[in-house]
Amino acid sequence: MLRGLLAALCALLFLLPMAQARTVVPPRLIVANGAEQPIVLQSLQVSGEISGGMAQTTVQMVFFNPNRRLLEGQLQFPLLEGQQIVGFSLDVEGRQRPAVPVEKAKGRQIFEAIERRRVDPGLLEATQGNNFKLRIYPIPANGTRTVEIKYVEPLARQGKNWQYRLPLAYGDRMRDFDLTLNVHGAMAAPQASGSLGAIGLVRTGEQYQMHVNKSGFAASGMLNLLIPASEKPQTYTQLRDDGMWFVTEIPVAETHTARSLPKVIGLLWDSSGSGAGRDHDAEFAVLDRYFKAAGNAEVRLTRLRDRPEPEQSFHIANGNWSALRQALQNTAYDGASALGDWKQEADVGEYLLVSDGLSNYGNAVFPKLAAGQRLYALNSALAADASLLSAWAENTGGRLVQVSAQSVAAATQALLSESAHVETLTAAGAGDLQIESHDAKNGILRVAGRLRNPEAQLTLTTRQNGRLTTTLIPLSATAPAHPLAAYLWAGYRLRELEANRDLHRAEIRRIGQQFGLATRETSLIVLERLDDYVRYDVVPPQEYQAAFNQLKKLRDGDLRQTRSRHMENVLQQFQRKTAWWERDFSKDDMPKPKKVTPEAVRSDRRPGAGVPLQSASAPELAAPVAAAPMPPPAPAPVAGLQRAFEARENYSSKSVAGNGTATAAPQISVALQKWSANAPYIDRLKAATADTVYAIYLDEKPGYANSSAFFLDAADILLEKGQRDLALRVLSNLAEMDLENRAVLRILGYRLLQAGAPQLAIPVFEKVRQLAEEEPQSFRDLGLAYAADKQYQQAIDQLYEVVQRPWDARFPEIETIALAELNQIVATAGVALDTSRIDPRFLKNMPLDLRVAMTWDADNSDMDLWVTDPNGEKCFYGYPLTHQGGRMSRDFTQGYGPEEFSLRKAKPGKYKIETNYYGNSQQLIAGDTTLQVKLTTAFGTPRQKEQMVTLRLKDRQDTVFVGEFDVAP
């Protein structure tokens, strides 16, 4: 995987512009694990347009891949608070094609579907907070790709100047470097400084311009630009199809009044794994001044990670907080971030939340504070969710304080004093008002909105030094035009919605689509072919819309026919499985047929086909030729409840033969082969005592911070040693590893289920469903997690979604697997469930003596489930039906599974379960594939028992023994 393909954007474009940022050593521009040679930045072109207190920067990069194979580029990078991507384009057929907005889950689905066809897509998506992921495919062997990203930002004030900072530390020498900056409407000549040396700006008409062009240039350092600013309010407008937008910059006098501090302070310390990346020295420096100002106080410390730790109380005497400081310095940063999972206390005067804001686990809704309680959030992390922290704090009358080594004094002042604060904001002739912050930032307030009349008036009431001041600001449609006014409004509105993001998902999505922004609900996508825009119903760039509309009319009719056919196809699949279940298979010794092995059918297998070969000795029963009648109208909910209850009562604790005769249930034992890794840390962890194993884990952790296998192995050993809470904490680190990686989150959810913690697994799988609604596994996994938590109605509702929705052909017959699980839940739940929305033709429980289900985490990969019975027959994708009736589901050749082995009545003897890594077609350089295998006896009956195991396969053709069933005579 090409982690950090544009890592420069992380350290160069967005991290370093912070006026308060600490020194960062940029990583290698492009990291290509396993590549023969690193991908290089061939040329860089940067252009900036600055007017008033706003700037738009465009960065165009040409990358060259010297390797002999094409690669997918995948990178993650953060933006600073207030910065916002407003454009992304990718070279297609020799031209830069602009991206268009698309719903987030749909964008990922489209990208991965097109990537499988080896066609050019590009996808830019927001992950969490102001962090972004860019995916580009392909970067051709010995070829180039051109990426262009455009972002906007409001500038900070430094004295009487606007400050624009542009990082240039791109590391390696590039062939071509070109920089152009245009400053519009400046009061006087801007002053430039930095690593490019003494370069002046030349006045050209109404603007000042800087132009630098170099060859064979190794860019480094930072370019700083100070631009004289007006001391009067200034309004800019932008006319769009959706109205006349404005943004007003209002300078205010920078006066600060010390605020009184409470005697009881709640300190919420983010101790999650990502907390290790914060600047703790800078945080301590600010807190030192804070506690000195507090004098004598009680501090109640709560550490936040996957779950809050018990509260600790510290007494501050005359500003001495040494005991608290020592406790914080001893923090072991580990686990996920559940920042909303704590209890408010009424006698706490104010809360300090020290965090990066990346809340990725459990409850993300901030607890409601009592009247008069404020939250002050302190952030020193470079990659953070500043919007969330700011929204949480400002909703209580507090504020977000950005902290760094260079800004201790400014951060302390922001924390300990009151500055100009906006109490009320109204307008006559304008609406949709949004404010950047209710507190002046460096002597500036910004308000954005939409003009309803050509002339309007803004009324602003501020509180400063205990006094209220009302300011009237005229607004006019004739104000200077600015192309960023609407984008700033969108950014301010999105940040306000962050306070309760789950409640406002639809509005966030609408804003992203309206303004073409990458948000948590929308992404930006570039497609190569017009028919792909039509196929996936994505509105293309303007120049292609006429042709798009014509093709779309033709395709809409095809889609309606596809949906109508889907349920009938599922019914036929279900009828075939029912016919198999109702057949009475012989349990005698089988005749000796020609031996069929996986190796024997390899040459006949076509990757991606997913079509099983039929066993010559035991062909699958066909579905009835006559089509089943259409179902009657859905019964009333009460009838649905009663039908489900009656269906459940029809199943006893005995097996039922094919002729309906009850037989004694077989005695079956299950033995799993415990997965054992051979990593260097394993022996050390296993040799540790229960009291020391976690400390040894922490000692090893820095060397394996990016290894999901390490956290899985360590959690297993902690569970073995009786340290369940610590094991769950270690598992939760998977939520911190790679923001919004659904494969990693699925592993986390599976392991939480395996550890008996379905209540923790449910929000993980809910997040996966939100990320990947195009994959049926997202609904199936969530349904099974609900069932494990005994939320049976929610479980069958999610499983029926798998049945109803048409899926990509790479998920063959997953509907029949979901139906087996749905009917098992209805039959064994112990309570009446509402099945009125389920087609009654699908309500048939089919109990099994033995069942094995396997899933895995890697997309575009092919894992095989093998089950060998006492006859020596191996049931697998090429031999899906054995002599005694063992049935293998359809082969999943492009990722995830599930693959299912079913046996209604088991012949006595041993059944061996194995899994095999057949291969993959991933474009990323992949690591281990993690598999989850569930072995179940008496499936679909009250006697059902199951065991789960998680294991890993690394190389193609790896085969691993999973476990066995032992069926007594």
Per-residue pLDDT tens over the stretch 43-60? 999 999 998 889 999 989
Structure tokens at 68: 């002999």
- The pLDDT, as a whole number, for residue 397 is 87
348 falls in which pLDDT band (50, 70, 90)? very high
- Of 402, 417, 432, which residue sits at a domain end? 417
Structure tokens at 284: 């301590």
Lowest mean pLDDT among 169-173, 227-231, 780-784: 169-173
CA–centroid distance for 326 within its chain: 35
- The pLDDT, as a whole number, for residue 904 is 96
pLDDT, average across residues 488-502: 87
Whether the predicted pLDDT of 21 surpasses 70: no
Sheet strand arrangement including 421-428? 421-428, 455-464, 467-476
Question: For 21, which DSSP code?
Answer: P
Is residue 423 within 8 Å of residue 410, measured between CB atoms? no
- The pLDDT, as a whole number, for residue 558 is 58
pLDDT, average across residues 784-788: 96
120 falls in which pLDDT band (50, 70, 90)? low
Pairing of strands 929-939, 374-379: unpaired
957/785: higher pLDDT? 785
- The pLDDT, as a whole number, for residue 600 is 57
At which residue do the structure tokens 């070109």 appear?
A: 178
Q: What residue type is assigned to position 717 of the chain?
A: I
118 falls in which pLDDT band (50, 70, 90)? low
Report if residue 934 sits inside a domain: yes
Is residue 86 within 8 Å of residue 150, measured between CB atoms? yes
Report if residue 755 sits inside a domain: no
| pLDDT tens-digit series, residues 274-323 | 999 899 999 999 999 999 999 999 999 999 999 999 999 999 999 999 99
Whether the predicted pLDDT of 648 surpasses 70: no
| pLDDT tens-digit series, residues 543-565 | 888 888 877 776 665 555 666 68
Lowest mean pLDDT among 381-385, 538-542, 619-623, 705-709: 619-623
856 falls in which pLDDT band (50, 70, 90)? confident
Q: Select from 170, 167, 124, 128 the least CA-distant residue to 149.
A: 124
Question: For 439, which DSSP code?
Answer: B
- Of 383, 417, 451, which residue sits at a domain end? 417
User: Which residues are CB-neighbours of 125 under 8 A, at least 6 positions away?
Assistant: 104, 107, 108, 132, 133, 135, 518, 523, 524, 740
Is residue 65 within 8 Å of residue 71, measured between CB atoms? yes
Report if residue 913 sits inside a domain: yes
Q: Express as a percent the part of the chain with pLDDT over 70.
A: 83
Structure tokens at 680: 């260097």
Q: What residue type is assigned to position 771 of the chain?
A: L
Report if residue 410 sits inside a domain: yes
Whether the predicted pLDDT of 68 surpasses 70: yes
Lowest mean pLDDT among 16-20, 748-752, 854-858: 16-20
10 Å Cβ neighbour count for 31?
A: 16
Lowest mean pLDDT among 105-109, 626-630, 756-760: 626-630
- Of 366, 384, 417, which residue sits at a domain end? 417
Whether the predicted pLDDT of 636 surpasses 60: no
pLDDT, average across residues 593-617: 47
Helix, strand, or coil here: 8?
helix
pLDDT, average across residues 117-131: 74
- The pLDDT, as a whole number, for residue 651 is 36
Sheet strand arrangement including 191-194? 156-158, 161-167, 222-228, 191-194
Helices of type H across 47-185: 104-115
Pairing of strands 909-920, 874-875: unpaired
pLDDT winner (highest mean) among 553-557, 639-643, 828-832, 955-959: 828-832
At which residue do the structure tokens 């690591």 appear?
A: 927
Count of domains for the chain? 2
pTM for this prediction = 0.75
CATH number at residue 940: 2.60.40
Q: Select from 960, 772, 756 the least CA-distant residue to 857.
A: 772
User: Which residues are CB-neighbours of 674 under 8 A, at least 6 positions away?
Assistant: 949
- The pLDDT, as a whole number, for residue 601 is 58
Is residue 21 within 8 Å of residue 15, measured between CB atoms? yes
- The pLDDT, as a whole number, for residue 131 is 73
734-745 exposure pattern, b = at least 16 Cβ within 10 A, e = fewer = bbbbbbbbbbbb
By CB neighbour count within 10 A (0-12 exposed, 13-18 middle, 19+ buried), where does 646 fall? exposed
Q: Select from 240, 34, 121, 311 the least CA-distant residue to 927.
A: 34
In which element (H, E) is residue 795 found? helix 792-804
- The pLDDT, as a whole number, for residue 655 is 43
954 falls in which pLDDT band (50, 70, 90)? low
349/623: higher pLDDT? 349
286/76: higher pLDDT? 286
Helix, strand, or coil here: 646?
helix
In which element (H, E) is residue 696 found? helix 693-700
- The pLDDT, as a whole number, for residue 884 is 93
Report if residue 76 sits inside a domain: no
Report if residue 892 sits inside a domain: yes
Whether the predicted pLDDT of 748 surpasses 80: yes
CATH number at residue 270: 3.40.50.410
List, in sequence order, every beta strand (DSSP E) within 218-274. Answer: 222-228, 234-240, 243-251, 257-258, 264-270
10 Å Cβ neighbour count for 434?
A: 20
pLDDT, average across residues 881-902: 89
pLDDT, average across residues 5-14: 38
Whether the predicted pLDDT of 124 surpasses 50: yes
Report if residue 458 sits inside a domain: no
Report if residue 69 sits inside a domain: no
619 falls in which pLDDT band (50, 70, 90)? very low
Range of the domain at 918: 847-968
pLDDT, average across residues 252-260: 81
**Sign of the four-CA dihedral 536, 540, 544, 546:** positive
Pairing of strands 374-379, 400-402: parallel
Whether the predicted pLDDT of 695 surpasses 70: yes
My answer on whether omega of the bond before 541 falls inside 30° of 0, hence cis, is: no
- The pLDDT, as a whole number, for residue 598 is 64
- Supply the mean pLDDT for the chain: 83
pLDDT winner (highest mean) among 114-128, 629-643, 955-969: 955-969
| pLDDT tens-digit series, residues 365-405 | 789 999 889 999 999 998 788 888 988 998 898 999 999 88
